[in-house]
Amino acid sequence: MSGPQEQELARQVRPQELGTLLDVLEHRARVHGERTAFIYLDEGESEEARLSFAELDARRRTVARALRREGLEGQRVLLFYLPGLDFVTAFFGCLSAGVVPIAVNPPLPTERTSRIQAIVDDAGASAVLTAGNLQPILQSWLAQDERLAGMPLLATDAMDGAEDGSEPRRPVREDLAFLQYTSGSTTLPRGVRVGHDNLMANLECIRHTIQLEERSVSVTWLPCFHDMGLINGVLEPVYAGCLSVMMSPLAFIRRPRRWLEAISRYRATHSGGPNFAYDLCVRKIPAREREGLELGSWRQAYLSAEPIRRDTLVRFHDAFTAQGFQWKAFYPCYGLAEATLAVTGGDLEAEPLFRSVDNTALEQRRIVEVREGTPGSTQVVGCGTAGLDTEVLLVDPETRQRVAADQVGEVWVRGPGVARGYLGRAEESRETFEARLDTGEGPFLRTGDLAFLQGGEVFIVGRLKDVLIIRGRNYYPHDLEWTVGQCHPALRAGCAAAFLVEEQGQEKLILAQEVQREHQEGAPLEDLLGEIRQTIAEQYGLQLHRAVLVRTGGIPRTSSGKIQRRLCRSMFESGQLEELARG
């Protein structure tokens, strides 16, 4: 067989036929290694770095050899990186070395070490990988905790990739690929165990559904420590063999036009983010700054990771239709880290679906459709149908029976993309990943999300668990409440409620906290409010819209003592909380 014939045969290999994502990368490097795989934009504007498929393949091998020399094969490591291509090479280097990467958010300078220590303890992490320019800063930060201070801190951009003569074991589909830690956890971090088989199945599910191909172009500002940023921005482009243009989340937040500029400049076909990103573009890009943008190439504007609002879609489309943005480009979808990422998605050529439902019926988990604009109704956005080889059921969480067509149920998922459970949490893994119907059929993944089905389309209406989704990240209210309760002796530990309220179309974070009875009269309440705000900012990087101090016993509870967050929210909105102060 001639050289050209061999090359043509290699080009015809489909990624789903290969074993792992590393095999796919090797194939890309061999067939079109000179093609650009990644571009990183400094401040979201000028090109800072590029990586071809061949360069990425070579650099990940360098990192892998160095990690094996450090004796880290089979170990778990934290990846601390600022946005950029160093993270990409480090992640693939870990996969190549049989090292399990854990992508984590770089700490804020004022942040305490408890969040990272909790992950280190849970995962049994052996080392920290970073870039050389961050190494001294991280060394100083980790030194605050004696347990973290002794961890090896390795700069992957300075690693020597000299051959050592050994033949490394190649990862196979049955191996663990990476750990994805649920966002916002400090006291109870949960690491989702994603195998190479789960990853390959989910990457093919995404590629097949959204028609990604080698000539596609992805633009992303999503953080790589988030499942949507990692999969959509880094791993999926390698799987599909297309270009990924990356920028930092901060560059987008500071000037949202940069996101649309990159889409326009590189003729991007696929890009997206949470609902707030589209809303931010409308609010922060005035009409005069929309001129010069060309968004006609944008085929898939995906929305996920937080509640999707129809009015946001309408306002974004109205604002940018003159720049070529098409209504059918909107692509609401649904997924979660426990399923690697993607669960449902729509037809790329179809317009998004909406249903207006009666609020009173919805509160009773019944679906009664009404005319659009009917008082007391809610518009719900469809998030597509079950992806490739994926099954979605709606189940009554109490009876474990399938719900009727006009009822709301918990979303249960079965498919090859469902991860292997939580690291070191056998009981919680059984409850979440091994659920069975009352008939015994299973296992299924319990998502904790509530939805209804129409014609196979999944309409997410709420969350069974009180997870707070803020700018696309999940925060567990009991974590925030626990942290605040520990920050000052005048506050009652375990006597708080964190919840979201809607104001002017945006969800705002509120935290109500009981004050110890003996401190209610003489305590400096303004100082306590400041302490609560500072604690939430330092520990979670969040800004409270309102901190509220209430009297002892002022937080509503069930008869068994559980915090009633929804009732507390209702009391806050109606002015029924016994407030001592707010700020």
In the predicted structure, residue 64 carries a pLDDT above the cut 60: yes
For residue 16, give the nearest of 206, 196, 200, 176 by alpha carbon: 200
Task: List pLDDT tens digits, range 439-457.
Answer: 999 999 999 998 999 999 9
**Hey, CA dihedral for 357, 445, 300, 208, is it positive or negative?**
negative
Rounded CA gap, 336 and 164, in Å? 40
Q: What is the DSSP letter of 439?
A: T
The neighbour count for residue 36, using CB atoms within 10 Å, is: 15
Rounded CA gap, 61 and 38, in Å? 17
Half-sphere exposure of 240 (CA within 13 A, CB side): 29
Please give the full DSSP string across 468-527, using - where no structure is assigned.
EEETTEEE-HHHHHHHHHTS-TTEEEEEEEEEEEEETTEEEEEEEEEE-GGGTTTS-HHH
**Superfamily of domain covering 344-463:** Luciferase; Domain 3 (2.30.38.10)
**Residues in a beta bridge with 101:** 77
What number of residues does the chain have? 583
- Structure token digits, residue 305: 């990771």
Query: Which sequence spans correspond to the domains of the chain?
Result: 3-249, 344-463, 476-582
In the predicted structure, residue 5 carries a pLDDT above the cut 60: no
pLDDT bin (cut points 50, 70, 90) of residue 474 is low
Domain 3-249 bears CATH identifier 3.40.50.12780: yes
pTM: 0.82
Best CATH choice for the domain 476-582 from the list 3.40.50.300, 3.40.50.12780, 3.30.300.30, 3.40.50.620: 3.30.300.30
pLDDT bin (cut points 50, 70, 90) of residue 185 is very low
pLDDT bin (cut points 50, 70, 90) of residue 554 is very high
Q: Which of 114-118, 192-196, 332-336, 453-457 has the least mean pLDDT?
A: 114-118
- Is cis: bond before 307, omega within 30 of 0? no
